[in-house]
Amino acid sequence: MTAGVGRVAIAGAGIGGLTLAIALRRLGIDAHVYERATELRPVGAGLSLMANAMLALRAIGLEESIAALGEAAQTSVGRRSDGAELSRFPIAEVAREVGSSAVLLHRADLHAALLDALGAEHVTLGRAAAGYRDEARAPAAVRFDDGSEVEAGLVVGADGLHSAIRRQLTGDANPPEYSGYTSWRGVTDTLCGAAPGQLSETWGRGCRFGIAPVGRGRVYWFAVANAPAGERDAGDPRPMLLERYGAWHAPIRALIEATAPERVVRTDIADRPVLTRWSRGRVALLGDAAHPMTPNLGQGGCQAIEDAVVLSGALAAHAKLPDALADYERIRVARANGIVRDARRFGALAAREGALFQAVRDALIRWTPASLMHDRFVELFRFDDPFAARRALIE
Ligand SMILES: Cc1cc2nc3c(=O)[nH]c(=O)nc-3n(C[C@H](O)[C@H](O)[C@H](O)COP(=O)(O)OP(=O)(O)OC[C@H]3O[C@@H](n4cnc5c(N)ncnc54)[C@H](O)[C@@H]3O)c2cc1C
């Protein structure tokens, strides 16, 4: 069947674009990725892949190899800046309940593994999509910024937050919105005393610090604070980070000090108001191009992986492209958009600076019933491949 698409041209070799190309090629659908960057250097530091992403990776045969790259999270702990525990959540247990694990890993390792699974020959670097062409009685095509085009039966915009494909598809509706807070991320080469398997987040007044061991003795850390949009650090950011977080509980100071300044990545946090359609004609959006979200629930990459698995399955299961894209949107839009909204709400609460608010928030974190947390995470972590039967038939 394969929706009669012939060739799928994917703009963007991020987590979403690479996963989609892998999933499609496993189903016998020709797919090629066009990436703007001239070399693949993953931006960012660490990443958590929650159980839903691992289940989606299982559907395309990648769960085990990707899990082996990192470290399974056992517990998730919320703390005050003096180290006192506000909450403790058995993340591994909940992941097991839905049939998988939550994995903490280095982004570079994930990108390398995805590229390896796809085959570098299916990615062309240094090609920046500027938009697309989709006219009657002619194949669709990706248009590049040098004026050249590549024809395809389906064009997928997996080109991230500032997607050029989305710009054309939506007429640039819903531009990115800065959240009001920025982030710094780093990975150390030593544990610095961090507890293996423990994902932790420490709450201050309008700022946070997260710690996630990512395997092989390395630790991914992130700091979040309110800041004007577009502000940049003048030189080494660590003195400022130490001033802000250095007196917090161990091993926060040690983690900041152990990271070379050039390996600290600063990113302003943004999302966009949600879209209710992710496709038009022979063009579809995926990952951050479709539903960029603030990283507060650690789900942006996970949702891009879910998109890739569902879109590939829908294309294999339907004879007609409009039916496949309608199914993709039916299955994915409400779930991903719900997470965009939840992540935004969570981030806005975390960014509040008042002392009274902080006391109330800490009490809320401490006293939120475990059963409520459990149910919310089970819902978040579930993923059932809707096209498993079709996939099994083909592979
Ligand atoms: C601070 C922070 C922490 C995060 N933590 C997590 C986490 O723990 N877990 C999680 O699941 N998610 C996390 N995320 C979110 C996650 O990084 C994104 O959701 C994920 O990378 C989206 O993947 P993508 O492939 O859709 O887009 P991207 O990763 O943005 O990839 C898009 C690709 O397209 C390329 N591109 C851009 N424009 C063009 C163009 N015009 N033509 C061709 N190529 C183009 C880019 O170079 C890039 O390679 C975090 C995000 C941030 C900012």
Tens digit of pLDDT for each residue in 324-357?
A: 999 999 999 999 999 999 999 999 989 999 888 8
Domains and CATH numbers, the chain: 2-177+271-394 (3.50.50.60)
Q: What is the DSSP letter of 137?
A: T
| Beta carbons of 303 and 293 less than 8 angstroms apart | yes
Number of Cβ within a 10 Å radius of residue 374: 15
Instruction: Report the relative pairing of strands 7-11 and 154-157 from DSSP bridges.
Output: parallel
In this predicted model, what pLDDT tens digit does every residue of 44-84 receive, in sequence order? 799 999 999 999 999 999 999 999 999 999 999 999 999 99
Residue 3 pLDDT more than 80?
A: no
Residue 313 pLDDT more than 90?
A: yes
Report the pLDDT averaged over residues 137-156.
Answer: 97
pLDDT for 41? 78
Ligand 1 atom nearest to CA at 19: 25
Question: CA 172 → CA 46, 150, 169, 176, distances in Å?
Answer: 30, 23, 8, 10
Residue 128 pLDDT more than 70?
A: yes
- For residue 271 and ligand 1, the question of a CB distance below 6 A is answered with no
Coil, strand or helix at 269: strand
Distance CA 73, CA 66 (A): 14
Mutate to test the pocket of ligand 1, among 15, 125, 201, 278 (most ligand atoms within 8 A of CB): 15
Residue 2 pLDDT more than 80?
A: no
- For residue 129 and ligand 1, the question of a CB distance below 6 A is answered with yes
Which spans in 27-174 are helix H? 51-59, 63-67, 91-97, 107-118, 164-170
pLDDT for 368? 87
pLDDT for 43? 66
Element at 226 (helix H, strand E): strand 218-226
In this predicted model, what pLDDT tens digit does every residue of 251-285 receive, in sequence order? 999 999 999 999 999 999 999 999 999 999 999 99
Identify the residue whose C-alpha is closest to ligand 1 atom 35: 12
Each residue of 146-161: b (16+ CB within 10 Å) or e?
Answer: eeebbebbbbbbbbbe
Distance CA 297, CA 282 (A): 32
Cis peptide before 251 (omega within 30 of 0): yes
Distance CA 81, CA 377 (A): 25
Coil, strand or helix at 6: coil
Does the predicted model carry a pTM greater than 0.85? yes
Residue 42 pLDDT more than 70?
A: no
Residue 265 is encoded by which pair of tokens?
A: 């990545």
Mean pLDDT of the chain: 95
CA 228–ligand 1 middle distance (angstroms)? 22
| Beta carbons of 79 and 202 less than 8 angstroms apart | yes
Mutate to test the pocket of ligand 1, among 43, 47, 296 (most ligand atoms within 8 A of CB): 47
Mutate to test the pocket of ligand 1, among 10, 19, 36 (most ligand atoms within 8 A of CB): 36
Q: What percent of the chain shows pLDDT beyond 70?
A: 99
Residue 181 pLDDT more than 80?
A: yes
Amino acid in position 74? Q
Q: Which residue reads 């959006």 in tokens?
A: 285
Residue 346 is encoded by which pair of tokens?
A: 């969570």
- pLDDT range class, residue 183, cuts 50, 70, 90: very high
Residue 312 pLDDT more than 80?
A: yes
- pLDDT range class, residue 361, cuts 50, 70, 90: confident
* Residue of 98, 46, 107 lying closest to 380 (CA atoms): 98
Ligand 1 atom nearest to CA at 292: 19
pLDDT for 395? 80
- For residue 186 and ligand 1, the question of a CB distance below 6 A is answered with no
Residue 374 pLDDT more than 80?
A: yes
Q: What is the DSSP letter of 195?
A: P
pLDDT for 40? 85
pLDDT for 1? 58
- For residue 128 and ligand 1, the question of a CB distance below 6 A is answered with yes
Distance CA 93, CA 73 (A): 10
Report the pLDDT averaged over residues 15-31.
Answer: 97
Q: What percent of the chain shows pLDDT beyond 90?
A: 90
Residue 14 pLDDT more than 80?
A: yes
- pLDDT range class, residue 135, cuts 50, 70, 90: very high
- For residue 157 and ligand 1, the question of a CB distance below 6 A is answered with no
Report the pLDDT averaged over residues 153-161.
Answer: 98
| Beta carbons of 9 and 152 less than 8 angstroms apart | yes
